[in-house]
Amino acid sequence: MAKVIRTDEINKCIGCFACMLTCSAVNSKNHSIRKSCIHIQTSGGLAGKFIANICQACREPYCAEVCPSDALIPRKGGGVLLDTHKCIGCRRCKNACTVGAIGFDEDTRRPLICRHCGTCAQFCPHGCLLVRNVPD
């Protein structure tokens, strides 16, 4: 069974960015939140709540459809996996993502795409992110 990250408990988020730092360290071998595949931000103002911008694990991912080099492979359960050897860094996937969840690493010239590994959820101290099993 495939796994996906969900933000059902995001109302508990205090903006510690532990999820972003962990994602960046594990997936990009970097400790900058700019290299994270999940993006936590305030909904506005000092009293605003936090929101998570993360891949929604589309069953028919448009980002993969627009990729001219077939570098994005639809994964079981939704979303995509990136074949970095095929990627040409064109940013079409980033521009095509309907929820704006795809980032771009200017250093590697590759997109930052959540692979739903669950590391962010493991290290969230408040249980804001959840890993859900979904049918393939």
What tens digit of pLDDT does each residue of 78-126 get?
Answer: 999 999 999 999 999 999 999 999 999 999 999 999 999 999 999 999 9
**11-22 residue pLDDT tens:** 999 999 999 999
What's the pLDDT score for residue 1? 85
- Interatomic CA distance for residues 40 and 119, integer angstroms: 15
Q: CB-based contacts of 75: which residues, under 8 Å, 6+ apart?
A: 2, 81, 115, 116
Which listed CATH number (3.30.70.20, 3.40.50.720, 3.20.20.70, 3.40.50.300) goes with 2-134?
3.30.70.20
Q: Is the pLDDT confidence value at 47 over 80?
A: no
Global pTM value: 0.89
In the block, tokens 């795409």 appear at: 113
